[in-house]
Every structure is written in C-alpha cells, then in structure tokens.
Chains A and B, each alone.
Chain A
Amino acid sequence: MPVYDAVVIGAGNGGLTAALTLAKAGRRILLLERHNVPGGCATSFVRGRFEFEVALHQLSGLGSVDRPGPLRVLLSEMGVIDKLAFVEMENLYRVSYPGVLDITLKAEREAAIGTLQQQFPAERDAIARFFELVYEFSLQLVQGIFFRDPHISKEKYPLYFKYAFRNAQEVLDEYFDDPLLKVVLGVYWGYVGVPPSRLPFGDLAVILWAYIEFKPYHLKGGSQALSNALLDTFLQMGGEARFNCAVRKIIVENGAVKGVVTEDGERVDTRYVMSNASTIQTYIDLIDAAEVPDSQFEYFKSKTIGPSAFTVYLGFDCEPSEIGIRESSNFILTTTDMNRAFGLWKTLEPQEWALFTCYDVSDPEFSPPGACQAALVSLQYAEPWYRVPPHQYAETKYRYADAMLKMAETIFPNLRHHIEEAEVATPLTHLRYLGHPGGAIYGFDQYAKDSPYFRMDKSPIKGLYHAGAWVAGGGFQPTLTSGRSTARSMLKSMNNK
C-alpha cells in the first residue's frame, strides 16, 4: 500500500483547501509546492519596511459573523477562521475618469443607487430598475442553482434563464444611455478579465450583488496570512508539506494514477493526485502523452489562456491622505470604450484601464506607521512579453510601469515624490512564480463558454483531480471553494473502495 492516500501538487488556494479537506477526513496527504512559500497568488513579498500584498484586492463572499457568506462558512469549516482577522471595506469602488467623472459607490444598495441617481439624474428610474434586475437575478441564481432547487424551471426562475448568458454590454445598453454610467456599473469586468461585451451578465450581476450583500473584505497580514493559516491547520491535522519541491511527473499506468516523481527524482507512490497546477501543464508536461486520451486535448482546444497582470507595488513614505488617497479600490479610466481597454491588454502600449488599491485606507496597520502601500494593476496577456528579448526585459518593464504611474498621477498628482519602495511584476513574473502558461492569474479566459455549465469536470485519468482557477474560474472565493469540493469528490471515490 502506498504511504500517502493522496499527493496534492501545488499549495495555491485550491491546493491548500483540498489538502486540508483531505487531511481533516483522516487521509494521509503529502502536499508538494515548488515555491518556498504557500499561497500561489495568495502571497506577499517584502521590500524594505513593506510587506506587499501580491494578489488580493477585495475578498468576496465572506459576510459578517452574524450574516456569514459562503466563504466564511468555508473558512470556519477549514478551521482557520479564528487564526485570521478580517477588515471590512466600506465602499465598492471609486471610478475616476480624470477631468470627466469621479464617483464612489458605497457597498450598500440604496446608497449606491442614490449616488448614481445624483450623478446621472436623467437615468434615475433605469438605475433603480437595473439594481432590481441585479438583485432578482442573483436571488434566482442562489435559490435555483446554489441551493439546487429540484424543481428548477424556466417558469420558476425566468430572470435566471433569460440573463445568465446574455452579454453584460447588451444589458447595460438596454438600460442606460450614458456611456459613463455603463462604465461605472460594468467596471468589475476587470476582476473577471473579460470586457462587458463578452462578459456574461450573470457574472457581473452576481459580483455586484455579492460585494454589496457580503461586503468587500481584506485580511490583516494580507492573503499570505490566509495561506499560512490554511497550511498551519493542514500540518496540525497531520498533513505533510514540502516546499522548494516541484513535481516533475505524474506516473500514470493503464489510465490510472500510480504516483508522482519530484524534481529531485524521488518517486512517491499514491493512487490519488490532486493537481493545483494548471490543467494544461498537468496533461502536457507532467503526464506521458500516451496516457492522455485525445478527448482531453480536444477539450483544451476550446479554451484560451487567460490574462496575467502587470502590477506596480508601491510603498509610500506617508499616510494615504497625504497623497489624496481616500478609497481602497480606485478604478482609473481614460476611455469609455472597454473593448479598446481590453485590446490594450495584448499590447505594451499605455493602458486605459487600471486599478489602484490602497490597503491602508481600510486597515491603517497594514503598512508600518506613517507609511502606506498600493498595488497599481493593469491586466495583461503574456504574448507581447514573450517577444521582448531577455536583455530588453528590464527596460521594457520600467517603461510600462512608468506609463502606469503617469496614469495614477492623474488622480494622485504628488504620488511619485512619496515612493519609498517600488517593485514591478509582469506576466513573466507571474509565469515564473505560478508556473502557469501565460502567467495567467485566472486560469483560462472566462467567457460564457468557459463557465461551469460547460466544463469537463472529471479527469479521464483515474485518481486524478483538479483544484484551482483552471477548473473553477479565477478569484479567491472560487479557487478556495474548488479545493474543498473536488477533495470531497476524491474522498467519495476513496470511500467507495
């Protein structure tokens, strides 16, 4: 009998909750991570006196103690909730189009509607109706799908069946005239990586609804605290973890998992592997080609590698207020054409959509006293970076970052004088640390065709399971949730033996 019931490859969000779910069920689990620290995207790094948050901007689905959301339930179940401290963010976001519009929406339905109606009085009624749609749609989705209503039907949940796949731009066009208003309400498209013209309305509606209902949150100590807490509980449950230990191969014989080989050449026998690595690499780089049925590659043909990110991590020598930062989440735009903004993600040109998140606004202790930090982000596909010759990489990176800073300076004019530390991450940085094709941070592109309804959820290889963005979609809540659900499927299979 193999020593380990299962080997988990990768300690990202999905790998961690999967490993923990299995260990809690009494299984003997080995967790292997190529990097020196758990978390994948959910991590941090230190420069000078700053610990920079890498990936988390607004945690969704948490909810309060009295009114817990699905993520709080999950983290309680994982046994980590008491090891963490959460910070609620008051606002959804600020959208700033320099010289044109500056608006901040509270994470509260009536207040957000009020602010929008004040700014766009001509579309008063439409604004109220749009929120009505967002709410009604989301409630139908929750009742019909999330709670798995056995009597689900078109008649019972008409909005759900009508709007789930419609594109968000069409719905925004149907409700509103002012392009600025459409941009403000559709701005979360950047959290999915798909422009409103290709974004399923269902996704936009649920994001808005969930952030308003469960509030956006951040974590004390950042997302690394979450990753560390999950790993800590996993170890307490008797799990074994190795870092700086990549997997070179998953051994598959006659269609079934037999074990893994680490980069040092050590063979570990097991009948179950939970891969938190990208599914693409799992099948093309880790498993012998002869063992992967064509159906798997055909499935991949319908998929495209999603965006990565370009981030300038900024440490400032002052309080946020001194730079004029009043909101945690600031979307900066210089166009109302979101297709154009999206198209720029595939170039190294100056961008027209950016996110500037300052964690110290909601958590003054996030950075050292008298200092604050921000992440200035634009999403980016990796392709243009592949074409940069290695010796021009640093220069290209700074030039791009400089253009990003110029964009941020349009709303925070004296920002540059206060920079004490600055670090830049490109799609290639994410590729290096995550090992994902394209440095993708959300897995595959997330079009309607990539939604859970169309996913191939079972591996053709016996004993192989997947957790993380490549199977569940991007973001903290989806990846954390996916680890638990796929671990449960694995446990079911183990228990049937």
Chain B
Amino acid sequence: MALKDVVEDIEGYREIATEIQVLRKYGSDHKSSRGEVAQIISQLHPPKIVLKLSEIIQETSSTRTFRLMGKDVGLPPFQAGQYLNLFVDIHGIRTSRPYSISSPPTHTGYYDVTVRRVEDGFVSSYLLDELKVGDELESTSPSGNFYYNALFHGADLVFLAGGSGVTPFMSMIREVAERGLTSRRIHLLYGSRNEADVIFQEELSAIAAHHRNISWMPVISNPSKNYAGATGLLTADRIAEAVGDVTSKTFYICGPEVMYDFCRRELVKLGVQKTKIRVEAYGPPREVTKQPGWPAEIRADDLFTVGLRSGKIIRAKASEPLMVSLEKNGIVIPASCRSGECSLCRTKMLSGKVFHPEGVRLRKSDSQFGYIHPCMAYPLTDLEILL
C-alpha cells in the first residue's frame, strides 16, 4: 500500500488538502524568480569578471598601479586585503597571478592593483611592459582570507610589510582613514630595500599626519649614505620600538617569502602568540627543493610524465608547480590563490606522488582519497591525474 492511499485517513488530512488547493491557485508563482539566483551570485561573487584598464599610475621606477574598471557591469564588493587572480595570455600561454587590491573597498568603481617588477617575473613583466589603457583582462572576483575580521582581531593592528607586500595593507589603511574608523589603531612597519623603492610614501605620510589612529614607519635595508630614517630589517627591537606592548595586538605579515619566517621568529621573541599572527598566502616557494620535506634524491630539473584522461601525456618539471606545467601545455584549470589554500584547482591524482610544500591546505579526506592542489603540487614521480 502506498503512502498516498492511507493519507486520507490521517486526522487533519482534509484541512491540509484544502490548504494545498488554495495555494496552488493563489500561492506566489516561482516563475517570477527566473534567473534570480544567478543574478544574486553575480552581484556578490561572479565566478569571472572582465576588467578594463582605465589608468596606469607610475608609483616608483619599478612599480605601477593599474586601475581596473568593470567592462560592462559594476564590480563586486571586497574586503580590504583581498586579491584578484588576473588571467593573461602571454606568447600563447594562458596563466594567472593573484594580486592584492590596493584601493579601498569604499571606492566602488574600480580596483587598483599595484605591481612591482620582479626578476624573471613572467606575468609582472608582461603587465608592466605590455599593458595599455583600454586593454581588457579577465579576473576572478575578489577572494582571499587576509582581511580584518572584527570578530576576533581586536582594535590594535600591526602590519608588517615587505616591498610590494604593502598593497593589501594600503587597502586596509585607506579604508580605515576614509571611513574614519578611529576605534581601529594601525601601525605599519614597511620594509624596503632603498628609499626609492617605498611605494605610497607620500600618501602614507599624509594619512598618518591626519589620522591619530594610523602610524607608519619605513624601514630601509640598504639605505643611501645620508638616510636619517629607520634602517635594517623588521627585527624584534624595531617592532617593539614602534608598537610598544604586544599583548592584545594582532599582527599581519605580507611580503617576500624570506620575510615570513624571519618576522615570525622576531614576533615570537617578543612573546607574541602564534595565533595572533595572520599571514598572507605568498605563492609557490622560490626554491622548492630547499623546502623542509623535499626528497633529497629528486633534483630540480628532473622531468616526469603526467597522464591525462584524454590519453595525452605531458612533461612536468619537479621544481615547477604542476599547474604551471599544465598551462605551458595549453591546459588551463580553474585557479584563484595559486598558493595551495583556496582549493579551486583541487584535482584527483590516480597514481604517482607529489610534494605539497608547507602552507598547502588540503582537507583530511582529500588527502585520504588522493586529491592534490596542482597550483602548489610538485611531481616527484610520473603521475596520472583525473583531468
């Protein structure tokens, strides 16, 4: 006997049946919500956005800010500190790189990304040398977890920046200044190689002069002879001198790879709890073979084969993230953080072994069932992946 045969005998059936009849006639028609879900998603988190370069601002001799507007539509909001993953086609290779947004979320009409030239920078060189006003770029919507979280970060924030790592902090500082968020106190310690390398110098000084809750200190590692400001590295002494008591302060670090271990050690010397230190993801390590856990028998130039579902086989270098090897072979997979943490590129490995450096955030059961994050996975053997 089916459910529907007994239902009429259940007490209360008639009332419910009547209710349904009425609703079928007079209830609201869901047809009117056609396309609504997609529209709501596209306002807050469209999977892809097309940006148009509206302005190029020369910040220092090696650094430019690219002001990007939405091509056809408004831009989704972001939290100060988040990044865009910009897609580019360079000499037939489609790849992408995440860049922190340096403009504040209060400026809703554009995103600024500030790019410094780096040695052998495949994408940064392209952006700095080739990009022209009017060019279009595809991007993810703003992503990332390096932002102020009002629930537990407290009111005293110390930003430790190195080089172009100042960009997410610039967005946060501009927001606090523009919105007059005086209950949030910010100290920025900003390490640069020389005085000319300091990005946003004038603006930072102007903001600090007008906002008592914001202060900053440039720290120059290779100063010119007559430089009178702070020099050296972001050491424990330097940090203590600038911020005083460290208790109840939240520390944020963003800069080149070498800075992370160094600053973390210095902060620990000052008695800062590890859980009070927030770090931005910083992409693949410069020399993966020097990472803890890298197997000594595998050399940087070792080549392995990677078998794909289509039967195609590509070659991949041990010291190159698998995602890059795929891109060099014309295979583009979804990417956002390119630092192993967002899991957008999550891929199943059918056979073989890869190296995931520290900082890659794999789910426990993903490890158990053989998933890898190709943006930070390095082949250690021949591989077969489900792609």
B334 x A435 contact (CB < 8 A): no
B77 x A393 contact (CB < 8 A): yes
Which residues in A have their C-beta under 8 angstroms from that of B41? 431-432, 435
Interface residues of B in 1-46 (CB under 8 A from A): 1, 3-4, 6-7, 9-13, 16-17, 19-20, 23-31, 33-38, 40-41, 43-45
User: Is A129's CB within 8 Å of the partner chain B?
Assistant: no
Interface residues of A, count at CB 8 A? 74
Which residues in B have their C-beta under 8 angstroms from that of A398? 149-151
Q: A224-B365, A225-B364, A300-B29 are in contact. List 12 more A-B contacts (CB 8 A).
A: A36-B334, A37-B363, A44-B365, A164-B12, A284-B31, A303-B23, A303-B30, A312-B151, A391-B77, A437-B30, A448-B12, A449-B20
Interface residues of B in 358-387 (CB under 8 A from A): 361-366, 368-369, 371, 386
Chain A CB within 10 A, most for which of B10, B16, B273: B10
Known: A154-B9, A390-B43, A437-B33. A302 touches B341 (CB 8 A): no
Residues of A whose CB lies within 8 Å of any CB of B are 36-37, 44-47, 51, 144-145, 148-150, 152-154, 160-166, 221-222, 224-225, 228-229, 231-232, 235, 243-244, 280-281, 284-285, 289, 297-304, 312, 317, 386, 390-391, 393-394, 398, 401-402, 405, 416, 419-420, 422-424, 428, 431-432, 435-437, 448-449, 452-454
Known: A165-B16, A281-B37, A317-B275. A297 touches B11 (CB 8 A): no
A225 x B368 contact (CB < 8 A): yes
CB pairs A–B below 8 angstroms (9 shown): A144-B6, A224-B366, A228-B365, A284-B30, A300-B27, A301-B28, A317-B273, A390-B43, A391-B108
Q: How far is the CA of A154 from the CA of B50 in the complex (A)?
A: 64
A301 x B25 contact (CB < 8 A): yes
B7 x A166 contact (CB < 8 A): no
Shortest distance in angstroms between B311's beta carbon and chain A's nearest beta carbon?
15
B343 x A452 contact (CB < 8 A): no
User: Is B125's CB within 8 Å of the partner chain A?
Assistant: no
In the complex, what residue of chain A is closest to B79 when comparing beta carbons? A394
Which residues in A have their C-beta under 8 angstroms from that of B19? 302, 449
User: Is B105's CB within 8 Å of the partner chain A?
Assistant: yes
Which residues in A have their C-beta under 8 angstroms from that of B17? 454
Which residues in A have their C-beta under 8 angstroms from that of B35? 285
B37 x A51 contact (CB < 8 A): no
Shortest distance in angstroms between A187's beta carbon and chain B's nearest beta carbon?
23
Shortest distance in angstroms between A102's beta carbon and chain B's nearest beta carbon?
25
Known: A419-B152, A449-B16. A301 touches B34 (CB 8 A): no
Known: A284-B34, A428-B44. A165 touches B12 (CB 8 A): yes
Q: How far is the CA of A231 from the CA of B37 in the complex (A)?
A: 27
Shortest distance in angstroms between B370's beta carbon and chain A's nearest beta carbon?
8
User: Is B357's CB within 8 Å of the partner chain A?
Assistant: no
Q: How far is the CA of A165 from the CA of B334 in the complex (A)?
A: 48
User: Is B238's CB within 8 Å of the partner chain A?
Assistant: no
